[in-house]
Amino acid sequence: MLKTTPFHARTAPLVRAQTWRRWAGYQMASAYDPHPDREYAAIRNPAALIDVSPLYKYRLTGRDASRLLDRMITRDMTKLQVGQVYYTPWCAADGKVIDDGTVSRLDESTFRLTSGDSSLRWLHLNAVGHDVAIEDVSERIATLALQGPLSRAILEQVSPAEIGRLKYFRLVETTVGGIPVTISRTGYTGDLGYEIWVVAGQALALWDALVAGGTPYGLTPAGVWALDVARIEAGLIMLDVDYHSAHHAMIEEQKSSPFEINLGWAVSAAKAPFNGRRP
């Protein structure tokens, strides 16, 4: 039985062509129209609203949360400031990529990790001996991607935050239509865009607030097909499409190092030893 996201009550009536797909165990719209042309055009012209809630999400808290992540990912966690977001891969002991995602520093000792595949077991395996609490909040946090040239203007209408001053890969705790949210200047399209994180119980109210504020700007709900076209144009990689996870590869030749999938820039040459890099 496929799950549905907290936005399903709003998105399902818009799927006119019944173009459903499976994403991480969720029933998701490939496109709302029979073809994604209009939705893709919204990403590149006014703005598009995309449900990306199936992302796996983990909340890490405690004295050693940063140490755990520094051991696990290829980026240098000592440089990640509160309110900043990393995009990063993480590797097995042989230096082959397991997955890629984002790490957000919410406060001094609280982090949110997102991933394309389940990472809970890997987090716990690496957390042995660390003072850290790991929570799977995948179903408790809903996420919308607001992407496109007018995404900033839309958010400035519905949020009191100084969105125009929010730098790339930074986040802010604020409200949208009075609903508490976290807004990060991140996305998967290569265009101006933001991701909005909200507790699942407030998801429908958030959708309504964004649609009300964005409709005058041409805001259009978009499905996964349009998102996929945009991310290919931007040269952004996807697990199980552009590379295989080292945990699921059937043969050695299916595995990739970060350098083989153009993520060498995300590997710190100066940090302490981490998974995939010996002392």
Q: For residue range 79-90, list pLDDT tens digits in order.
A: 999 999 999 999
Buried b (16+ CB within 10 A) or exposed e, 22-31: ebeebbbbbb
pLDDT at 223: 98
Task: Assess contact for 131 and 62: CB atoms under 8 A.
Answer: yes
CA 254 – CA 220 distance, rounded (Å):
38
Q: For residue range 36-46, list pLDDT tens digits in order.
A: 999 999 999 99
CA 88 – CA 86 distance, rounded (Å):
6
Percent of the chain with pLDDT over 70: 100
Q: For residue range 139-152, list pLDDT tens digits in order.
A: 999 999 999 999 99
pLDDT at 1: 86
DSSP 203: H
Rg of the Cα trace of the chain? Answer: 18
Q: For residues 247-257, give the mean pLDDT.
A: 96
pLDDT at 17: 85
Buried b (16+ CB within 10 A) or exposed e, 90-126: bbbeebbbbbbbbbbbbeebebbbbbbbbbeebbeeb
- Between the alpha carbon of residue 49 and those of residues 129, 151, 257, 274, the distances in Å are 42, 9, 33, 37
Q: What is the pTM of this model?
A: 0.96
Scanning the chain, the segments in alpha helix (DSSP H) are 8-11, 37-44, 65-72, 120-126, 151-158, 203-214, 224-233
Q: For residue range 216-247, list pLDDT tens digits in order.
A: 999 999 999 999 999 999 999 999 999 999 99
pLDDT at 278: 77
208 band by pLDDT with thresholds 50, 70 and 90: very high
Q: In sequence order, what are the residues at sequence separation of 6 or more whose Cβ sits closer than 8 angstroms to the Cβ of residue 202?
A: 142, 179, 180
Place of tokens 């893709």: 40
pLDDT at 167: 98
CA terminus-to-terminus distance, the chain: 46
Structure-token pair, residue 60? 């890490």
Q: Which residues pair with 182 in a beta bridge?
A: 173, 197
Task: Assess contact for 63 and 46: CB atoms under 8 A.
Answer: no
pLDDT at 84: 98
Q: For residue range 187-206, list pLDDT tens digits in order.
A: 999 999 999 999 999 999 99
pLDDT at 85: 98
